[in-house]
Each structure stands twice: as structure tokens, then as C-alpha cells.
Homo-oligomer: A and B are copies of this chain.
Amino acid sequence: MTASTPRVQGHNPRTGEPVGTGVPETAPEDLQRLLTEAAEAFPVLRASSPSSRAELLRLLADRLEGAADDLVPLAAAESGLPLPRLTGELARTANQLRLFADVVLEGQYLEAILEDADGTAIPPRPVLRRWLEPLGPVLVYAASNFPFAFSVLGGDTASALAAGAPVLVKAHGSHPALSAAVSELAERAVADSGLPSGVFGIVFGDQQGVTALRDRRIKASGFTGSTAGGRFLFDVAANRPDPIPFFGELGSINPTVVTPAAVSVRGAEVVDGFVGSFTLGAGQFCTKPGLLFLPAGHGLEDRLVAAVEGVAAAPMLNRRIAVQLQAGLDDLAAHPAVELLAAGGLGPQEGSWGSARLFRTSAAAVAADPIALTEEHFGPAAIVVEYTEVDDLLEAIAAIDGSLTATLQAAPDDTFPLAQVLARLSERAGRVIYNGWPTGVAVAWAMNHGGPWPSTTNVGHTSVGATAIRRWLRPVSYQSLPDELLPPALQAANPWGIPRREPPPPR
């Protein structure tokens, strides 16, 4: 590094002031070293026992919690997010690391299948032993909006390490100082675990991230961020001479449908829940409900306006997000089928503040121009979409791109076809919510945080929850191997004690 090395500099969104002096971009020779170390660490991590990987994950969780007093204020300074939210997010991130320790120890994720020979089958079947093995070094792009849970030690990193894949994190430019602090902690934990340093690494700088994605030593990638950024990187991964899996979570509009009965029975509650959900954390959640389908004549305008006007301005994660939000909302406001229904409080001139905005359009307009009307606006903005008939509603839903979530707000009702609407919503989303709100993603065995394009680049997998580990794995079958040459998980004695699909005992 020389004095002229560019630095990644974070800013406090509340004031616009720089936080510290930034972190130097990774030098080209350092990037090459990190890639080599990751490749060299792979055989070691791949061969490591479940218990050693679980120990590493739990150590990372403990160290993260132990450093909370230093890390949370740093995260607050660089992200503008409130301290209580960040305290909870750090706890969630530690629990996520521990969940993957449980996943590794349980071993169901290995999908082990043991099958014996059958010479009478057509074609004949040899002795087969199948399980899942890690892909190799994984490149994780950190997100800005969860500086702990979707960043350096977030779900992509936790699930990849659990799978036995070394991780190279591309730090997000919005919180470089926090990223450096968390990565130092992670590097120490890896060293204290007796694992090679290449198990975990971090790179700073956008071009460095792209260079790493093109490198043959990287075998898969995870990303959480914007549709434009994710599409660019997806294309880089797909256009390699040897394309690699790219698991990107991009933009999501997250439609919510309110039935007439729900309006009648608890319309005010729906309004308050909706406004709370779409403005939570300044609307900077990928699960923010961006479209609220209300039956025409709902009579909730006054309540909607009052609720939105009561929302104070909140800091946006960085200036780029604030500027893009404003540009997107200007375009939306200029659409002939759209009107501005309400606006929240304005923030200070300095820093990057976002103000709540609620728009109104019709289901017919959405069906006619879905590209303009169902694009994600990352921030505290949403659109009320009024429908007249169920067919009208179904047509609009069919026109919307894929989302991470879709929500139904309903109530006992004689006439509304709940099952039909749920079926259509579930075709467009990875999680379907009934009488709840999509913000808030539980770290759980049964969670799915994924969905059809553009909500993710890979509809078959989740980025949150126990099954997120499947992204970093590939099946391998061993045919006719002597027992002692099989991986322990597949040996007759089952030394790891994992669940396996085994042949019936001989009769």
C-alpha cells in the first residue's frame, strides 16, 4: 500500500460527515494472495469434521456478541440505523451463526443416500453412496441495509462456512470501518480454531469485487443488493468461460392484497400495520410491502394520509440510495396513472434523509404498465393499488414480477376467493404471509427468503434459514468404493452419526 492507495470511506448518513479515515482498497497482489489462500484452504475445510466447523461458527457468534459494545456504535455511525435495531441485528446474526452450527451437527443437510447393488435392474445398479460436498471458495457481496445480518458474518458467510466453503467477503462501501472490525474478529477466530487463514478473507473496493468474481478460484457467489448491481454481477458470473452459480437477492415489490372483509372488519389496523411496515427502517428492507391492493371504495384515504404524514424523516443508508429513491419517485409521480396520496416529514438538509411517500393507482393501470408501476423503490415509499373486481386483481398480480414475499390481509368472508388469490400470489413469491407483514425475516428451519426473478437470480434456493446451506453444495456419488476410502459420512459405521437414507437390511 502506498500513500496514493484509494480508500473506501464511510459517511454518517445523519450528518454527511466522514466516519474515521476509511479503509484502503485491497491491492491487486493482496487480492491474488487472498484468492490463493482461499483455494488452498478449501481441501482442509472440506475435509474438516462437522464438530470443528460448528465450533468455528459458535466461536464467531461468541466473539461477535463479545464485541457488541464496540461494533454497534460503529455500525450506527456508518449506517445511520438506530442503536436498538443494530443491537437486535447483531444478536440475530450471532444466532444465525449458531443455527448453522446446529445444521452442520445434525447432518440432514448432507442428503446422504446409500444404495446397494442390484444386478437385475435395467441398467444394473452398482453400490452407490451419495452426499453433498462444498463447491469451493465462495465470494460473498455484503449488503448495506443489514450491516451485521447480511454483511461480513451474515447469512451467506455463515451458511458457506457451515457447508465447508472458504469465504471471501466483498465489503460494502457504506460501512467499511465496521467491515474491517468484524473481519479482524473473524480472522482471529479462524486462527484460534487452528484453521488455515484462507477460510475467511475480505476485500475492499468495487473493482476488486468484480476481479474476484471473474477468478477461476471462486466457485460460487452470494449477493444481496439492488437489481441493477445484482444483474451486472449475475452477468459477470454467467459470462465467465466457466460460469458459476450466482445467488443474488435483488429487488422485490412484495404485493399485499387486502380483501373487502378485512377493510370492513379492521381497515384502520391494516392501514397502521402497512404504513409501519413500509416505513420501518426508512423502508430499506428487501421485504418492504411496496404495493397495497385495496378494494375500490375502501374509504381508508384519510387514515392512510394521517398515518404517512405522521412518519418522521429517517436517514437513508447512503447518499446514492437517497438520490436514486428521489429520482425513482419523481418518475413515479409523473406517471399519468399515478397520484401522490401522502408525504411524511422532511429531514435536515445535511446528510441523506428519506421522507415517506405514498402513491395511488389502479389495478388496471398496474396490469397495463407493470414495468413502470411495480419497480422496487428502495426506501419509505409504496403504492396503494385499487381493484374493482377479483379478476381485475388477479390480472394485476399476474403482471407483477417475482417477489420475496406476498401477503394476504383477509377476514371471515363469504365471497372472496381466498384460495384462488393465494395460489396466484404463491406463484409470484417465495413466502406467503397471512394477516401479517413481510418485514421481519425469521432465522428458522422453515424460512424461505427467495423468489422468482428479479427478487432472486436463482429461484430454487433461499438466502435465509437452515436450507440456505444448500446453495454452496453439490452432489457427489461414490461408486463401488472400499469403505475405508469413502468420506466418513458415507462409511458403513456412520462415524458422524448423521441421518441417511439407507438400503433395507438384507432379508
Point out residues on A near B: beta carbons under 8 Å: 43, 47, 88, 91-92, 95, 108, 111, 113-115, 121-126, 128-130, 133, 135-136, 219, 234-235, 238-239, 242-245, 401-402, 418-419, 422-423, 426-427, 429-436, 440-448, 450, 452-454, 457-462, 465, 467, 470-471, 473-482, 485, 501
> Is A442 touching B474 in the complex (CB atoms < 8 A)?
no
Bound CA–CA A482/B422 (angstroms): 12
> Is A501 touching B445 in the complex (CB atoms < 8 A)?
yes
Chain B residues, CB < 8 A from A474: 430, 450, 452, 459-461
Q: A123-B442, A436-B480, A459-B135 are contacts. A47–B423 as well, Cβ < 8 Å?
A: yes
Most chain B beta-carbon contacts within 10 A, residue among A121, A133, A429: A121
> Is B453 touching A242 in the complex (CB atoms < 8 A)?
yes
> Is A423 touching B245 in the complex (CB atoms < 8 A)?
no
- Which of B122, B136, B219, B443 is within 8 Å of A92, CB to CB? B122
> Is B477 touching A447 in the complex (CB atoms < 8 A)?
yes
Chain B residues, CB < 8 A from A122: 88, 91-92, 95
Q: A475-B462, A476-B426 are contacts. A128–B485 as well, Cβ < 8 Å?
A: no
Chain B residues, CB < 8 A from A129: 446
Bound CA–CA A472/B115 (angstroms): 24
> Is B479 touching A242 in the complex (CB atoms < 8 A)?
no
Chain B residues, CB < 8 A from A242: 401-402, 452-454
Bound CA–CA A115/B465 (angstroms): 12
Known: A242-B402, A452-B474. 7 other contacts (CB 8 A): A126-B436, A128-B442, A133-B426, A135-B460, A234-B238, A242-B454, A447-B477
A-B contact pairs, 13 of them (CB 8 A): A108-B501, A115-B444, A121-B444, A130-B447, A135-B460, A238-B239, A242-B452, A242-B453, A244-B453, A430-B474, A430-B475, A431-B477, A450-B475
- Which of B95, B130, B440 is within 8 Å of A446, CB to CB? B130
Chain B residues, CB < 8 A from A418: 485
Chain B residues, CB < 8 A from A92: 122-123
Q: A458-B245, A459-B135 are contacts. A430–B476 as well, Cβ < 8 Å?
A: yes
